[in-house]
Structure 1
Amino acid sequence: MSVNAMIVSAGEALEVLRAGWQAQQAGQMTASYMLHGRPGVGKTQVIEQLAAEIGARLFDLRLTTIEPQDLRGLPYYDHEAQKTKWYRPEDLPDDPAQPSILFLDELTAASPMLQPTVYGLLQERRVGRHRLPGNVFIVAAGNTVEDGAIAYQMNTALSDRLIHLHVQAAATDWLDNYAVPKGLHATVVAFIKTRPDLLDTTERAVAEGQLIATTPRSWERVSQIMGAVAERRLRNVLIAGTVGDAVAAEFALIADDIAATVQVQEMLEASRKDRIGLYPASMHGLNALIYGLIGVLDARNADAVIDCMAEIRQLARQRPEEAFQRMPLGELCTYGFEGLIRKGLDLGLGERFLGHEAYRSYAAERKAAGL
């Protein structure tokens, strides 16, 4: 059966779950939620981010690795009462003073024998005689049969106990709300910025019978490879084994161009006259520079970073190359400042922007243009 719920990005799913948690805390609504989505689309990261935001302890139950008795607990005989009683499993939250998220991962891949045990958790919030405290937020996640993953069709009795969200990868959402804040390698971020169609190729890979697809999770792994393996040949082998050889070949060309033209630290240390000649003359290079500047921003280099970002909009006047005449430099500068300001506010650097001449000039230009 298809998932006939509204399609949302990972960022939108986080907003919905955040609203659900707030409603539960206010005593207005208590529900269990289900995140459907392809492998690697970011479902687990959404739950981890929510737990960090609300200060909750995360109980992550991988349902493919447990049996019904692991949830129900183990029986023992109470001779005095002449009754069989149960030892509750330690994997279930029971502290009423500590907010908790019970994350039932891989629900659709769990054995059908386990599902009846899960029913009580999702609807009545209990297993046997053990009841979950009111500060426990329940979210499940899983793949579908159509995703090429191991999965069972969800039966109606289970489906009816859940609020369903269909999570799909969206490049802009992933870049703004995950990749950039987490500091993924600037080359990966720049590549997806210009090739958003390659963020998630699972559907295409399944249709063509290919084993390897790109996903948000695989691009995070590529970021780790870029930072960990310096030798180009070995790095390319690892990346091909992560996102497939065709995508890896395209990524390698752009990575080489960026490595040859983007020198963030050198630009920050150069004089303004010398710095103008260091700007890369390609969209990939400028995107990588923008994300590199956002990544290195701190209290010590804020002035130099703002100067570098502001100068992007002037490159068509400062550099003779025809490439700069064709590029949307104003849009790139604006996009860069949006990310830079978000990070600056997080670091408490808002006053540094307002007091910086280059930023005031940039803001005045946009105001004069009605933007």
Structure 2
Amino acid sequence: MTINTTPISAGRALDALRAGHAAQRAGTLTASWMLHGRPGIGKTEIVSQLAAETGSRLFDLRLTTIEPQDLRGLPFYDHDARRTVWYPPQDLPDDPDRPAILFLDELTAAAPALQPTVYGLLQERRVGLHVLPANTFIVAAGNTVDDGAIAYEMGTALSDRLIHLSVVAEASDWITRYAVPQGLHPAVTAFIRTRPDLLDTTADALQRGRMIACTPRSWARVSAILRAVPDRTLRDIMIAGTLGDAAAAEFILLEQEIAATVQVSDMVAARPSDRTALYPANLHGLTALVYALVTLAERETLPDCIAIVADIRRLGTLRDDPAFARLPLAELTTYGMELLIERALAQGWEEAFRTSQPYAAYMADRAP
């Protein structure tokens, strides 16, 4: 069954959930939400980030691992009242004083026998006599039968209880809203910026009958591998087992090139007059340099990071190399400045920009 709604990036899906959460707190909208998307697209991360931002306790229920009675609770015979009562499970929110997010993950893979129990949670916000507190925000997630994952078609009785968000991988959104804030390895971020088509290759892998595909989740795992495993041979084996051999071969070549040319710590520590020779001579290396500077920037090093990014636009003159004239140096400088400004604003370091001569010169060059 087709999910006939507008596909959106993970960042826009998070924006929609933020708006829905704020509306529920204001008492103007109470609804249950459904995140559709391929495996590894970032659905769980979206809900986790929303919980962190709103100070909500996250109740993460993997519906493929539970039975209907796990949600209904256990029966207990009350001898005085001469009737059966139910003890609700601890996996459901019950504190009216603390906001909660109930995350019903893998909804489309749940056994059909479980779905009627889930209906009550999504629509009436209750299971049996256990009513969810008013401060509970409900989000479900799942894959479709076309994603190569275990999934059942969603019936209309279930579908009608939800606001549906179809999440797709979008490279620029992933870089800006996830890779840079999370400090992923600069080689990963630089590679996806130049090869956005390899952020999510699930559809192609399914068509070719291949088990391993690139996904946003697998690229985050590659970042962790790069930082955790010093042995290059073993690291390359792990990367191939995460991305598949073709994508891994292309990425490994770029990562080796970046490792040989990007010297971030040396550039930050060097005198300004000595930095020119340390700049990478290709776009991949310069892009990775920008991401590395943004990731490593601290209050003390931010002025140097600003100066290094500002000089990227002048490399054609500073290095007297015609190869730089063919690169989009001005665009990369602007992009790097935007990322550094975002980091500075988030950390309260904006004074570094107000007092930076390289930044003032960069702004003067941009003036009409």
Query: Structures share a fold, TM > 0.5?
Result: yes
Please give the alpha-carbon distance, in whole angstroms, between the structure 2 residues aligned to 1:42 and 1:322.
Answer: 42
Aligned letter for 1:177? R
Does 1:344 find its partner at 2:348? no
Identity of paired residues, percent?
Answer: 62
| 1:10-39 deviation line (CA, Å, top 9, x unaligned) | 000000000001111111110000000000
SS, match of residue 248 in structure 1:
helix
What residue is the counterpart of 2:321 in the other structure?
A: 321
What residue is the counterpart of 1:138 in the other structure?
A: 138
What residue is the counterpart of 2:253 in the other structure?
A: 253
Query: How big is the alpha-carbon RMSD for the aligned residues of Structure 1 and Structure 2?
Result: 0.7
Q: How does 1:298-317 map to 2 (within 5 A)?
A: 298-317=298-317
Tell me how many residue pairs correspond in the alignment.
368
What residue is the counterpart of 1:151 in the other structure?
A: 151
Please give the alpha-carbon distance, in whole angstroms, between the structure 1 residues aligned to 2:138 and 2:13.
Answer: 14
What residue is the counterpart of 1:99 in the other structure?
A: 99
What residue is the counterpart of 2:115 in the other structure?
A: 115
SS, match of residue 92 in structure 2:
coil
What residue is the counterpart of 2:46 in the other structure?
A: 46
Deviation at 1:271, TM superposition (A): 1.6
Aligned letter for 2:43? K
Q: How does 1:1-371 map to 2 (within 5 A)?
A: 1-366=1-366, 368-369=367-368
SS, match of residue 84 in structure 1:
strand
State whether residues 96 and 135 of structure 1, in contact with CA within 8 Å, keep that contact through their aligned partners in structure 2: yes
TM-score (norm: length of structure 2): 0.99
| 1:78-133 deviation line (CA, Å, top 9, x unaligned) | 11111111010000001111010000000000000000000000000000000001
Please give the alpha-carbon distance, in whole angstroms, between the structure 1 residues aligned to 2:6 and 2:24.
Answer: 22
SS, match of residue 200 in structure 2:
coil
Aligned letter for 2:291? Y
Please give the alpha-carbon distance, in whole angstroms, between the structure 2 residues aligned to 1:87 and 1:313.
Answer: 66
Deviation at 1:345, TM superposition (A): 1.0
| 1:200-244 deviation line (CA, Å, top 9, x unaligned) | 000000011000000000000000000011111111100000000
State whether residues 298 and 347 of structure 1, in contact with CA within 8 Å, keep that contact through their aligned partners in structure 2: no
Structure 2: segments with no counterpart, 5+ residues: none
Structure 1: segments with no counterpart, 5+ residues: none
Please give the alpha-carbon distance, in whole angstroms, between the structure 2 residues aligned to 1:162 and 1:140.
Answer: 9
| 1:145-172 deviation line (CA, Å, top 9, x unaligned) | 0000000000110000000000001000
State whether residues 73 and 87 of structure 1, in contact with CA within 8 Å, keep that contact through their aligned partners in structure 2: yes
Deviation at 1:352, TM superposition (A): 1.1
| 1:159-192 deviation line (CA, Å, top 9, x unaligned) | 0000000000100000000000000000000000
TM-score (norm: length of structure 1): 0.98
Please give the alpha-carbon distance, in whole angstroms, between the structure 2 residues aligned to 1:327 and 1:341.
Answer: 23
